[in-house]
Amino acid sequence: MSGERRKRRVEGNGERMPTQLDVVRQVMLLAAQYGSWMTLEELSRKTKFAETSISAQLRHLRKEKHGAFQVEKRRREWQEALRRNTREKVWEYQVRG
């Protein structure tokens, strides 16, 4: 079964199952209603999707065919300070419609 067909598979009630893009969009727009920013790690815990997949979905949300959402990104420096022995940056995201 092709990836596109898999996305369009319907549940028993006849409704289309949400894609990763649908889920990431919903979670991010809900978070934005409360002024929240989310890291890829937090999104991964909420959605059970891999961080790399979530990152790709955030890029897709910027595209016109997926809504041309404004996806903002900033460093979460306080969380970086909690990670010892690493110089890894922690980024957080917010999506606006």
Cβ neighbour number for residue 96 with a 10 Å cutoff: 10
As a residue count, the chain comes to 97
Integer Cα distance of 53 and 57 in angstroms = 6
What is the pTM assigned to this prediction?
Answer: 0.80
Q: What is the CATH number of the domain that holds 53?
A: 1.10.10
**Token duo for residue 28:** 């991010």
Helix H or strand E segment including 74: strand 70-75
- Domains identified in the chain, total number: 1
The range of the structural domain enclosing residue 68 comes to 3-96
Q: 4: pLDDT confidence band, cut at 50, 70 and 90?
A: very low
Integer Cα distance of 79 and 85 in angstroms = 13
Integer Cα distance of 97 and 28 in angstroms = 10
Q: What is the pLDDT of residues 60-96, one digit of tens each?
A: 999 999 999 999 999 998 877 777 777 788 899 999 9
